[in-house]
Amino acid sequence: MKNLFLFRGISGSGKSTLANSIGTTNVEADTYFVNKDGEYNFDARKLSEAHKWCQDYTNYLMEKETINISVSNTFTQEWEMKPYFNLAKKHGYKVFTMVVENRHGGQNQHNVPQDAIDRMVDRFEIKLI
């Protein structure tokens, strides 16, 4: 069975840590901002490019029939996951979405300002059915 795990949560909640700990091939938009020296250089002007890259790379992994793929992005709005649901349908993947909460005192690794985190919290949507 081919599985796609979508990890959702606010910056610092542990999405990447969890995704990397369960043995999946993890994809995330943050990777787009890491240079060849391993340094993270976020540029808000390139955020849509980063998400496009993330979707394209997920598609590439699905074309290779990678069994377990995870995508760990904030996904604060339901519509942000739609491209991944479409890819999963196209390639025959079962989708699992998980909200990751920061109940362990984790710190966001990319120095996201508190006001940006507060905006994420305010816009976070959860669909229970």
Span 95-110, pLDDT tens digits: 999 999 876 666 666 6
| CATH fold group of domain 3-123 | Rossmann fold (3.40.50)
Rounded Cα–Cα distance for residues 55 and 80 (Å): 11
| C-alpha radius of gyration, the chain, whole number | 14
**Spatial contact of 85 and 95, defined as CB atoms under 8 Å apart:** yes
* Domain range summary for the chain, segments of one domain joined by +: 3-123
Q: CB within 8 A of 33, min separation 6: which ones?
A: 40, 41, 42, 43, 46, 50
Rounded Cα–Cα distance for residues 54 and 71 (Å): 8
pLDDT at 30 exceeding the cut of 80: yes
State pTM to two decimals. 0.85
Q: Confidence band (pLDDT; 50, 70, 90) for 63?
A: very high
